[in-house]
Amino acid sequence: MPAVDPGFVRVAAIDCGTNSIRLLIADVDAERNQLRDHVRLMEVVRLGQGVDKTGELAPQALERTLDATRRYAQLCQHYGVQRIRFVATSATRDASNRHVFVEGVREALGVDPEVVSGQEEATLSFRGAISVLDERHRGPFLVVDLGGGSTELVLGTTSPVGAYSMDVGCVRMSERHLQSDPPTDAEIAAAAADINRAIDEAAKVVPLERTATLVGLAGSITTVTAHVLALREYDRDAINGAVMSLADAQAACDNLLRRNRLERAALGFMHPGRVDVIGAGALVWSTVMARVQAAVAQAGGRLTTTVTSEHDILDGIALSLGSVGDSY
């Protein structure tokens, strides 16, 4: 186990979303706003299975998620973690029985999970994303964090000036609309209408037309990026910071949306837990890209590319632990 250098604190950030649960164990230098990674893990647990329809967390989904949490607790002990923050997002916000989940996490980790608002989720995602952008990318940045149950849009340069959490994500849209394999044109049209309605509301809060750099985060967008790059297997280093034309990204989205599940599963970069929901994720990302590009053009600007970041809410959670006082 590596020792903690002076000036750093060892933290564990856990992001529990609708589709996946992720762990980052890192040393944080709060003064420099930097992270030194030790462990990054992701498991697809599908906590949000059926939540959009039932309003409750399913027992099987709870058990999968808490089992992963217990394994993460063992890693925290092994690495001598000093501070832990467990953030739960869309699916848990929507569930009437979330107290069962809260109690299970508390028992496993010794800390209470924070069921954060969409606004706080957006702020954390923005902080994580911009922490690794360099001088090649100019602000304002529109950070798009596309999750299983929600998609956050956050605009800002050094801090958010507008943020909105839309109740559209890859799991929610799959369960609500894209049930055929591959999805039918009618299903796609219904999902797109749903997504566009959400963007209409977001645009009242977030000035999309001010976007200078469009930044995409999270599994659906990184998977689309892997497809644009024609990767044979998932390569985090190749994906992080990749700049691509909006036209290429749109084409990759449409290709993934129109494939059936067997065809998607055959792609070497495709995580098995994303096979059934990547079509919806691609549709959300494609729709957002088109709307932002149109808003910028209408305002007299030009947006032709997007950049993908592997740094997101997980990094934002870890950075937030650099200045808190309580230790685990």
**Token pair 């496993």: residue:** 108
Q: Based on the fold, state whether residues 163 and 60 are members of the same structural domain.
A: no
Between CA 147 and CA 170 the distance in angstroms is: 6
Between CA 319 and CA 138 the distance in angstroms is: 22
Q: Based on the fold, state whether residues 303 and 189 are members of the same structural domain.
A: yes
Between CA 235 and CA 226 the distance in angstroms is: 8
Check: CB of residue 138 under 8 Å from CB of residue 172: no
Q: Of 129, 177, 161, 139, which Cα lies nearest the Cα of 314?
A: 129
Q: Based on the fold, state whether residues 106 and 143 are members of the same structural domain.
A: no
Q: What is the pLDDT of residues 80-123, one digit of tens each?
A: 999 999 998 766 777 888 888 889 999 999 999 888 877 787 78
Domain limits for position 152: 133-310
In Å, how far are 22, 34, 39, 172, 209 from 2, measured between CA atoms? 21, 17, 12, 40, 46
Q: Based on the fold, state whether residues 187 and 222 are members of the same structural domain.
A: yes
Q: How many domains does the chain have?
A: 2
Q: Based on the fold, state whether residues 138 and 277 are members of the same structural domain.
A: yes
> Could you tell me if residue 53 is inside a domain?
yes
CATH number, position 33: 3.30.420.40
> Could you tell me if residue 281 is inside a domain?
yes
Q: What is the pLDDT of residues 116-154, one digit of tens each?
A: 877 787 788 888 888 778 788 999 999 999 988 889 899
Q: What is the pLDDT of residues 217-230, one digit of tens each?
A: 988 999 999 999 99
Cβ within 8 Å of residue 18, ≥6 positions away = 46, 47, 48, 51, 89, 90, 91, 147, 148, 149, 150, 169, 171, 172
Six token digits for residue 157 = 């340069």
Q: Based on the fold, state whether residues 106 and 191 are members of the same structural domain.
A: no
| Beta strands, E only, 159-318 | 160-166, 213-217, 243-245, 305-308
The pTM of the full predicted model, rounded to 2 decimals, is: 0.79
Report helix, strand or coil for 78. helix
